[in-house]
Amino acid sequence: MPLLEIRNLHVCVEGREILHGLDLTVNAGKVHAIMGPNGSGKSTLSHVITGKPGYQITAGRILFKGEDLLAMGPDQRAAKGLFLAFQYPVEIPGVTTMNFLRTALNAQRKARGQSGYSTPHFLKKARTVAKQLNIPQSMLKRGVNVGFSGGEKKRNEILQMALFEPDLCILDEIDSGLDIDALRIVADGINAMRSPDRSIIMITHYQRLLNYVVPDVVHVMSRGRVVKSGDKQLALELEASGYAQFEDAA
């Protein structure tokens, strides 16, 4: 059974169709890259999988671990092991990152019928992961993403991913706004998460990230559909020739 299976997905926003019958299958342990020009529907796809309000699903289905994802609320999906690293992580003034992480983690554990982490256990875990990602302790005491640089925000997303240990990670343009050093740290963080039970979907414009996190499968999205799939060679082809060749295919 694939970890994620999307069949004939049609999605509208305010009456306008954005996804026109999208198909995608992701097996456990695989890293997929979804590439495509602006406006091809990549971010919409990540939002629909995670259940962001404001999208109407007019046809199709999404199965996650064989269960109907569309019947679940966003928090239930998270508890089931679905994680989205946001393209634009929000700022939450007054709520420290530490408090946020613990509240979220314990909410997920509770939903899964697990007991909450004790404070010392949690702190230890969070500190260890933060250290690996080169995130200073002081950042954990500041408001979530408040005053963080672009790179810090992205590292904070990876920190959450590492702590929550999800089964499917969707990384929406995790590489945007990162300089080469920050990209390396983020990529190391992602690679450390690779395991036979976990799948990763990376949404990106550029081939650059894929040099650091080598995908098993590459998809090209255009005008609301997956128009071509292949191995990592496909990304190199795209880098050389651009997206224009796929505009017509869609």
Binding site for other proteins (CB under 8 A): 50-54, 73-75, 77-79, 83-84, 86, 89-96, 99-100, 102-108, 111, 116, 119, 143, 160, 164
| Between 78 and 186, CB nearer to other proteins | 78
| CA distance linking residue 139 with residue 223, whole number of Å | 39
C-beta atoms surrounding 13 within 10 Å: 13
- Alpha helix ranges (H) inside 142-231: 150-164, 180-193, 208-212
Q: How far is CA 12 from CA 21, 41, 106, 143, in A?
A: 11, 11, 34, 35
Residue 86 CB, shortest distance to other proteins, in Å, is 6
| Between 3 and 79, CB nearer to other proteins | 79
Residue 127 CB, shortest distance to other proteins, in Å, is 14
Residue 181 CB, shortest distance to other proteins, in Å, is 26
At position 249, the amino acid (one-letter code) is A
| Between 43 and 207, CB nearer to other proteins | 43
Residue 156 CB, shortest distance to other proteins, in Å, is 11
C-beta atoms surrounding 229 within 10 Å: 15
Residue 83 CB, shortest distance to other proteins, in Å, is 8
| Between 86 and 148, CB nearer to other proteins | 86
C-beta separation of 199 from 169 below 8 A: yes
What does the DSSP 8-state code read for residue 135? -
Q: How far is CA 30 from CA 25, 45, 104, 133, 213, in A?
A: 10, 18, 26, 22, 12
| Between 159 and 187, CB nearer to other proteins | 159
